Amino acid sequence: MMERVNELASLLEEIVRDEVIKGLILISKEGKSESMVILEESVNKNKLAASSATLLSISSQVTKKLLDQTPEYILSFTQNNLIITLPVNTGMVLSALIDREKAESEGIENYVAKIQKVSEKVAVIVELSEYPKKGLFMNIKKTIPEAKTIAILTNEGVPLIVHPAEDAITVSGMISAISTISSSIVQNENSDYSVIASKEGMIITQQIDNDRLLAVAIPRKMKIKDIVEKIKVAVKESETQTIGMEGSA
């Protein structure tokens, strides 16, 4: 496992030695940073990670609806930077921060091709690691096998992972609204979790971190206290799971 971690970190650091590339970040589709090398001190790493996962999630759904296809990559232009975001595999996202002026001068397509090659190498390393068996989604499936639906989304209601994925956008929007209302019922108190109970089932919604929510639909026969405890264990375990490292080239 450690060999894979070192191999991944070395790969990212080697690419970032290119003076046009300011940074690379590998993110799970759950919105968690897995490995990064960022040279720009002004970059908010956590925001870049969450934004990249969210951007790919939304873009995938829009591309599916409008083109009935999946996106190969996404280009985001700011005043000084170009951000290339692309899927590594079904569970990971790679985002590259690039000097816009130099990239445009040398050819944006050249840098897209370069990052795509990096993505292919990362995919091999990730596949050979233990990561496909880890992550919050997998932890919930393992800890609560009775779960009928598992949804990981941003606070704004953008779905990161929803399984089963039917009408993921609508479901995520409603979960986000419920969480927002629940957290505002009592002033100056943070919301812990909320429960929607029906005759045969329950939906438990809980804040994962500052940016993400988790919702789990389960049979009514299970006790709320037991499920909440299992969710907290799964979340805590996912916080310690990583396949990479932060560094600087």
If one counts every other C-beta atom within 10 angstroms of the C-beta of residue 246, the result is: 15
What are the residue boundaries of the structural domains of the chain, listed by start? 2-132, 133-239
5-25 average pLDDT score = 74
Q: How much of the chain, in percent, has pLDDT values that exceed 70?
A: 87
Task: Indicate the CATH number for domain 2-132.
Answer: 3.30.450.30
DSSP 15: H
Q: Tell me the residue ranges of DSSP E strands in 81-122.
A: 81-87, 92-99
CATH topology of domain 133-239: Beta-Lactamase (3.30.450)
Q: In the chain, what is the straight-line distance between the N-terminal and C-terminal CA atoms, in Å?
A: 22
Span 162-209, pLDDT tens digits: 888 777 888 888 889 988 888 777 776 777 888 999 989 999 999 888
Span 206-236, pLDDT tens digits: 988 888 899 999 988 888 888 889 998 888 8
> Do 2-132 and 133-239 share a fold?
yes
